[in-house]
Structure 1
Amino acid sequence: MNIYRSIQEVGFDKKTALTIGTFDGLHLGHQEILSVLKNKAAEKGLRSFVVTFEPHPRTVVIGLGSPLHLITTIEEKTELFEKAGVENLLIINFTEEFSQTPPEVFFREYIIDKIGVTSCIIGYDHRFGKGRDGGEDIIRGLAAANSFDVTTVGAVQIGDIIISSSKIRHLLFEGETGLVHKMLGRNFSLLGHVVKGDQRGRLLGFPTANIRLSNKDKIIPGVGVYAVKAEVEGTAYNSVMNVGYRPTFVTGELTIEVHLLGFDGDLYDKEMKVTVLERMRGEKKFISKNDLIEQIKTDIQKAKDFFNN
């Protein structure tokens, strides 16, 4: 896949099938758009092209102080685009100045004049340009004047629920991982580095890896205990993850701790990918240390049963 970070790097080619969007999560709805894009490109002998933005537009439009809760980082999205068979990806630097670009100006200067387009594929709710004023009507007006076709891809649903990035974020906060995984078409994952903690897990007899996320804006699932796969240096381990504020010890700080089943070794400073499989329970406060230890034993056994089934 060709990856471009500047419009100046892109060679003009009218024979292009193209889509535009933020694509946070690259969920089944987004995947349907990419499927239509690939089919259009193959059918008409066009190159496939995705235009996306980094940082997430909300960083600029709403403000740097507002939490983003990204389902996928730009690195994860890039990998997923490539796996989906996208041939070309343009990542536009979304700045405050760029956010003021009127939709017609953006589409004409970037898409029509610089990239080239024969087929444009958009989602049913796609908005773009200053104030999100651009939509299907503007694109179809430009299409009529510039000889390209437009295909609108409808909503994808699971039951009566329309799949969307905002819905997935809500479900992740609620710990509803089963439905999240169905909407994503894959398991949700986190990437980070193992950092020094307070050694509390080791003192309790269950050493944990404390994870610092590689991207501070990455969404963290709701507090609770999860069965996960932890991948370190190419090896995946059955594991238990705790996300929470450790109310038994009143630390007040949200932590991500992973206990690798059957692992005995040094993980400090190593990169770890954590793939979430199932939420086993919510967060609890325990009266005594012994009660906590018994619960940890129960969680570990429950995780082992999960992996053995």
Structure 2
Amino acid sequence: MSTQGDRPKTAGPDDGPQPPFPLKLDGKVIKGFGRGSSELGIPTANIPISGLSVGGHEDVDSGVYYGWAGLSPSKATHQHPPHAQSDKYSHLSSGLQETLSAIAKDDSELEKGAVYPMCMSIGWNPFYKNTVRSVEVHIMHHFETDFYGSHMNLSILGFIRKELDYVSKDKLIEDIKTDIEVSGRSLAREPYAKLRKDPYLLEFEGKGEVAS
């Protein structure tokens, strides 16, 4: 695992996820604290903390993780399938956008939903001194519209780092952007890239309403 500065370029073994990964959980996308887009410039899709009870993950460590996110069909997924890139999406490097775009180029089942690379945080967000634990997912893709009410299935494939506090918002943003790059490079490795085809990610029947 090579490094750049004091941060690893990838997380997890190169030959694929090891136990306890993959971890699978799901929930309906809900409104969170509203800070991701407005304050940090990094939008997140939140799911209820109760989603951690799926598969017995209530005790999963707080921290930053990466993996794949399946979204139920919605206006957002049909307008912007995973392979549609946007130059407005400035916090992913152009090389990484191209890599992830190549992974998703064979998508053909948008009527069933869409699968996206994601970086996620589970925890208390000590910088903001939250009083409740949250599950916040950054989908590595630019959307023109929100998808509140869509169902999201998550396959978590690896752990990046523990939850930290920060002396400034700029340091927090810098670390989050690095987390996103690490997530993308980690998912681009073949043993991880092929797991975006896991049927679970597009299984929404019986999980509540599908967004229109």
**Residues 213, 308 of structure 1: alpha-carbon distance in 2 compared, 3 angstrom cutoff:** same
Q: Secondary structure at the match of 1:180?
A: coil
| 8 Å CA contact 2:43, 2:138 repeated in 1 | yes
The sequence identity of aligned pairs, in percent, is 34
Residue 225, structure 1, aligned to residue 64, structure 2:
yes
Aligned equivalent of 1:249? 128
**Residues 216, 188 of structure 1: alpha-carbon distance in 2 compared, 3 angstrom cutoff:** closer
| 8 Å CA contact 1:227, 1:277 repeated in 2 | yes
Q: Secondary structure at the match of 2:18?
A: helix
Aligned equivalent of 2:167? 287
Residue 180, structure 1, aligned to residue 60, structure 2:
no
Q: How many residues align?
A: 128
**Residues 280, 301 of structure 1: alpha-carbon distance in 2 compared, 3 angstrom cutoff:** same
Aligned equivalent of 1:200? 35
CA distance in 2, matches of 1:215, 1:291: 29
Unpaired segments ≥5 residues, structure 2: 1-16, 73-112, 190-212
Unpaired segments ≥5 residues, structure 1: 1-176, 182-186
Aligned equivalent of 2:48? 212
**Residues 293, 196 of structure 1: alpha-carbon distance in 2 compared, 3 angstrom cutoff:** same
Aligned equivalent of 2:182? 302
C-alpha RMSD of the superposition: 1.7
TM-score by length of 2: 0.57
The structure 1 segments of at least 4 consecutive aligned residues displaced by more than 2 Å after TM superposition are 213-221
Q: Over alpha carbons, which structure has the higher Rg?
A: 1
**Residues 305, 215 of structure 1: alpha-carbon distance in 2 compared, 3 angstrom cutoff:** closer
Q: Secondary structure at the match of 1:191?
A: strand
Higher relative contact order (CA 8 A, sep 6+): 2
The equivalences for 1:101-250 within 5 A come to 178-181=18-21, 187-203=22-38, 204-212=40-48, 217-218=53-54, 219-220=57-58, 221-233=60-72, 234-250=113-129
| 8 Å CA contact 2:68, 2:118 repeated in 1 | yes
TM-score by length of 1: 0.39
**Residues 238, 215 of structure 1: alpha-carbon distance in 2 compared, 3 angstrom cutoff:** closer
CA deviation string 1:88-111 (max 9, x = no partner): xxxxxxxxxxxxxxxxxxxxxxxx
CA distance in 2, matches of 1:228, 1:216: 15
Q: Secondary structure at the match of 2:184?
A: helix
The equivalences for 1:2-151 within 5 A come to none
